[in-house]
Structure 1
Amino acid sequence: MATFVLCDGAFGGAWAWREVEKELIKQGHAVFSLTLTGLGDRNHLLTPDINLETHITDVVNTILFEDLNNIYLVGHSYGGGVIIGAADQLLNRISKLIFFDALILEDNQSINDLYSKSFVKQTKEIVQSKGEGFRLPKPDSGPIYTTDHPFKTFEQKIKLMNKVELRQIPCAFINCTQKSSHPVMEPINQFADRAKQEKWEYIEISAGHNAHWEKPVELAKIFINLADKNDVYDMQNRST
């Protein structure tokens, strides 16, 4: 049995993993799907004070209070930056980081740093005009459960304390090959290329950016296969 902790991206929440979670549980695995502060069913907590550190702490505290170990920590889209921060604090509890069509942050880097100045400027203007200066309005399309996103989470630079040790954690990247050409996807495509160059486990799924809505069973099988591969690796290491 593997333990999966699932962190969704901007505007999302635990609800986005519902069908993936069902499949993983059916196959005998433990699953903890997170809703980050201010999002989804926790949208009543949305305030100007929520930042990236808040969301990292959401993940860290779930792992600590549930006393989880040997975790397959999954981050989708914006959630990729969140799980990096959580793993930095809980190195010995993570078996593998799984970046699912995700953004990846380096030390002292913010989500906004991954985008062009013109794109960030345009986004800030939307936040000011339609989001009271602190929230990015939810997309017009998509499930009814999407909620506005705290913009400070994109502005705050991540602080990593264990950069060398963090690089020792096995990583995988799942690339959704049918996603749109929207500018928000450009850095994700670059991280997919980087994952291949750095010899990470690299898997493609023929789906849009939100494959956990579109192809949950197929995505769950990918997660399980990634856990199985890690188990084989661990057994080989223990026997040498």
Structure 2
Amino acid sequence: MATFVLVPGAWLGAWAWEDTARELRERGHTVLATALTGLGERAGQATPETGLDTHVDDIVTFVEEHDLRDVTLVAHSYAAAPATGAAGRLGTRLARVVYVDSAPFAEGMRMLDLMSEAEAEILREQVAAEGDGWRLPMPAIDALGQVGDLDGLTEDRRELMRSRATPQPFRTYEQPLTAPVGPAPEVDRVLIACNEFKALLDAGVPMLAYLGRPPWRRVDLATGHWPMLSAPAELAKALDTAVS
């Protein structure tokens, strides 16, 4: 059986993993979900200085304080950035990294690098107007569909996101990932690709081509960008398969 550490993406907390965590525990795994500083259950800890380095430290500290070994680190969406940084520091504690609808970040890369300058400027304007100059509120659900695929999110799941989402400290998008970055060569690598990401991979986008070659293993899910909410049982099955 595996030891999972589940890390949520932007605007979300550990609560987002509840259904998937329960399914994994029923399969006999040890499962711990963690919220990152300023988000979800730790929203009250947000400050203008909360950045990507903060979230890397969060993951490393969580694993070390719980004295976890042979960890399967699962990162959804934005969490790929801090999880990649944490993977570079966890050494032999780390057995596997699973990127859920996401991919590793390179040293020096920022979340803002994933979008056009025009898109980044819209976010900066939103932060200035609605987030006191340092917080990024979660967009309206319809607008969120332009960021990620909403397939499978029922109205009650959408309402859950609306009601429990917390603003993202914007420095986490602005700050580049610093060395060391991982994982080490011997760490197992798994990609779980949902609908839109799967389409990009199948289209042969050159910058993603490495994800289709060893040592990477790929599992596809027929659902949208938030599978822990739209298809939690299917995601648990995919994670169970990844460690089997």
Partner residue, 1:129: 129
Q: Deviations over 1:121-167 (max 9, x none)?
A: 1111111111111000122233211111000001111112266x634
> Larger RCO: Structure 1 or Structure 2 (Cα < 8 Å, ≥ 6 residues apart)?
2
8 Å contact from structure 2 (residues 4, 32) kept in 1: yes
**Residue in 2 that maps onto 1:225:** 241
Percent identical among aligned pairs is 32
Instruction: Tell me, in whole angstroms, the C-alpha distance in 1 between the residues paired with 2:181 and 2:110.
Output: 17
SS of 1:38 mapped into structure 2: coil
| 2:98 equivalent to 1:98 | yes
Superposition deviation, residue 193 in structure 1: 4.7
Structure 1 match to 2:144 = none
- The equivalent of 1:172 in structure 2 is 190
1:166/1:160 Cα in 2 relative to 1: closer, same or farther (>3 Å)? farther
Residues 1:200 and 2:216 are matched in the alignment: yes
Is 1:49 the counterpart of 2:49? The answer is: yes
Contact kept, 8 Å, 2:107 with 2:181, in 1: the verdict is no
Q: CA RMSD in A?
A: 2.2
Q: Which runs of 5+ in 1 are unaligned?
A: 229-240
TM-score (norm 2): 0.84
Deviation at 1:55, TM superposition (A): 0.7
1:151 aligns with 2:175: no
Give the letter aligned to residue 177 of structure 2: I
Secondary structure of 1:32's counterpart equals strand
Runs of at least 4 residues of structure 1 off by over 6 A?
A: none
Task: Report the alpha carbon displacement of residue 192 of structure 1 after superposing the two structures with TM.
Answer: 5.6
Shift of 1:16: 0.3
Are the structure 2 counterparts of residues 178 and 108 from structure 1 closer, same or farther at C-alpha, using a change threshold of 3 Å?
closer
**Given that residues 3 and 31 in structure 1 are in contact (C-alpha distance below 8 angstroms), is that contact kept between their aligned partners in structure 2?**
yes
Tell me the secondary structure at the aligned position of residue 61 of structure 1.
helix
Q: Give the AA of the match of 1:31.
A: V
**Matched letter for residue 167 of structure 2:** D
Q: Deviations over 1:181-210 (max 9, x none)?
A: 9xxx99xx9676541145510111000100
Q: Secondary structure at the match of 1:158?
A: coil
Which whole-Å CA distance do the structure 2 matches of 1:6 and 1:162 have between them? 19
8 Å CA contact 1:2–1:29 kept in 2: the answer is yes
In structure 2, the partner of 1:8 is 8
- Residues 78 and 103 of structure 1 are in contact (CA less than 8 Å); yes or no, is this contact kept in structure 2? no
Q: Matches of 2:176 and 2:21 in 1, distance apart?
A: 31
Shift of 1:115: 1.9
Q: Kindly indicate whether the alpha-carbon contact (under 8 Å) linking 1:14 and 1:40 is maintained by their aligned counterparts in 2.
A: yes
What is the aligned residue count? 221
Check conservation: 2:84, 2:181, Cα contact below 8 A. no
Per-residue deviation, 1:225: 0.9
**Residue pair 1:175, 1:192 contacting (<8 A) in 2 also:** no
2:98 alignment partner, SS class: strand
Quickly say closer, same or farther: Cα 1:160–1:172, change in 2 above 3 A.
Answer: same
Q: Which amino acid aligns with 1:96?
A: R
